[in-house]
């Protein structure tokens, strides 16, 4: 799926399908400051590419959505015979900064 075109993220993460086109759901996730800086730098650098055929992100959100979907597809292929994972019973996932050992 090209960057910025439609959204399957809520559905892929087990949430409800968007109520209308363009509806998005915020992801409660934490990343390190270094990762966030690299992410922002990558999106800005890719947006400067002057090639009509390049699949450049229209936004940081589009970049993250494409990356999450790519990882979901890999995990589904490797761990669930290529099918989406089953709907979870508990709709609320734990959120917050990752626990350290």
Q: Residue 42 in contact with residue 60, Cβ under 8 Å?
A: no
pLDDT tens track for 41-69: 999 999 999 888 888 889 999 999 999 99
pLDDT digits (tens, 9 = 90+) for 9-23: 444 444 444 456 678
- Spatial neighbors of 77 by CB under 8 A, at least 6 apart, are none
């Amino acid at each position: 799926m090209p960057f910025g075109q439609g959204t399957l993220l809520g559905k892929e993460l087990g949430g409800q399908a968007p109520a209308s086109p363009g509806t998005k759901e915020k992801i409660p996730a934490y990343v390190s400051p270094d990762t966030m800086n690299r992410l922002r730098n990558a999106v800005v650098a890719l947006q400067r590419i002057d090639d009509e055929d390049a699949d450049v992100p229209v936004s940081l959100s589009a970049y993250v959505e494409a990356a999450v979907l790519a990882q979901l597809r890999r995990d589904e292929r490797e761990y669930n015979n290529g099918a989406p994972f089953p709907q979870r019973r508990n709709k609320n996932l734990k959120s917050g900064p990752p626990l350290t050992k």
